[in-house]
Amino acid sequence: MFMGYQDANISELMNKAMQFKQDCTVKEFEIYEFLRQSLNQRTSWGLIPTEIAKFMTALGGKLAGKSVYCPWDSFSNFASLAYIEGAKSSMESSIHTNIPGLVNIFKDTDVEICYSDPIMHPAYKFQGQLQQFDVSISFPPLNEKYDKQVNEEDWLNRFPDKTTSGNVLNVRHIMSQTKEKAVIAVTNRVLFSSGAEQSLRADLLKNNQIE
């Protein structure tokens, strides 16, 4: 089930999309606009507006030939755009839905799809360490809180801050899997708050990781 959207409805949605695409009166079929019109507000949570997705993807620079990691990309917004730009795209989401596969079909892409929680159980690993990607693009969940066990049980050494702030942990996780550039949407708390947020900003500045 996807945010209240049952498998039977996903199948119905796919059939409807297939029929819509085959309609000779449709000049250009845009899967995301179709999804936005077909899903209600609750089930479309995580569907990034196309303009924002394109803008953030463009900030990633020239992606052709690069590996691109898109955590929390439950609709494959960023991953599909990166793939079209010539990247090897990988998306990761804790929300299990058939929609990324649907996007692959209708956008003729081959995005690698993985269902796992990036913070609790990161899936992209190689020889016991986090897999490294050239570029990461993400609009992670905002203002989430995690259990303190996340810090205590993180054997991948991603989180120097003893915090439950998802805003901080999300950025720390993405940075730990990125070699060149990370494009991340964040809240004002990350930019102005004290505590773990301030520590994160200090580390990014110290390591010259802000462009």
Distance between CA atoms of residues 45 and 54, nearest Å: 18
Q: How confident is the model at residue 125 (pLDDT cuts 50, 70, 90)?
A: very high
pLDDT band at residue 8, thresholds of 50, 70 and 90?
very low
pTM: 0.86
Which amino acid is residue 200, in one-letter code? L
**% pLDDT > 70, the chain:** 82
Whether the predicted pLDDT of 43 surpasses 70? no
pLDDT in tens, 49-97: 889 999 999 999 999 999 999 999 999 999 999 999 999 999 999 988 8
Q: What is the mean pLDDT of residues 136-150?
A: 93
Please state, in angstroms and rounded to a whole number, the distance separating the CA atoms of residues 32 and 38. Answer: 10
Which tokens is 191 given?
A: 């930019």
Instruction: Scan for tokens 């303009």, then name that residue.
Output: 51
Between 64 and 7, the more confident residue is 64
Q: Provide the b/e sequence for 186-199 (b: ≥16 CB within 10 Å).
A: beebbeebeebbee
Using CA atoms, how far apart are residues 119 and 117, in angstroms rounded to an integer? 6
Cβ 145 vs Cβ 192: under 8 Å = no
